[in-house]
Amino acid sequence: MTRVKICGITRIDDALAAIELGAHALGFVLEPSSPRYVGGRSDLLEAVASLPPFVSTVAVYGTRGTGRRDWEDVVSAVQAVEGDSAKPLLRTFRLQSEGDLALVAEAARGAAALVLDAFHPERMGGTGRPVDWSLASRVREISPVPIILAGGLTPENVAEAAYVVRPFAVDVSSGVESEPGTKDHRKIEAFIRAVALI
């Protein structure tokens, strides 16, 4: 079964809807440059602490030196391009070319999983750019840890992407939004339904 992470949650009603619709994990962005940044939101932090059990919550950083560490007291895991964590670490690997394959083992060191996202020269994630799925499939074959596929996923393409890559999980942000930070519940439902068909 391919698991689903809905990332870039900025509103508690979106979090609750994603849970109700079957999401396995929720991501909260603590990268200040992101339009989905929630680091200063104490109301959302308190709400995350009281979410139902058995739903993973993830503090999503660009580099580990940025963001608000108080979130790590309430989340299940940490996602970052660089840095370490006492919580399970999901290392973001911004896949750009075949030359990146040589870096997979190093990127996976100390990580619970690799999040494969598309490379962007200025932004850490949530760009809507797709990852090269055939290249992502090759990463999965050589990775010592599970793969979470991100980057440009939508309700329309996630089934094909998951079929080609065979990831442990898929991770979506902009592909289920009406605008940055505002989730479209119908798109979340369609996305999760498409994943369930795999």
Q: Which of 14, 100, 117, 132 is catalytic?
A: 117
Which residues have C-beta within 8 Å of that of residue 114, sequence separation ≥ 6?
90, 91, 92, 93, 104, 107, 108, 139, 143, 145, 146, 147, 148
7 is catalytic: yes
- Burial group, residue 64, by CB count within 10 angstroms (0-12, 13-18, 19+): middle
14 is catalytic: no
- What are the E-state strand segments in the chain? 3-6, 25-29, 56-60, 77-80, 89-95, 113-118, 147-149, 169-172, 177-179, 182-183
Q: Which of 7, 14, 100, 171 is catalytic?
A: 7
Q: Which positions are catalytic?
A: 7, 117
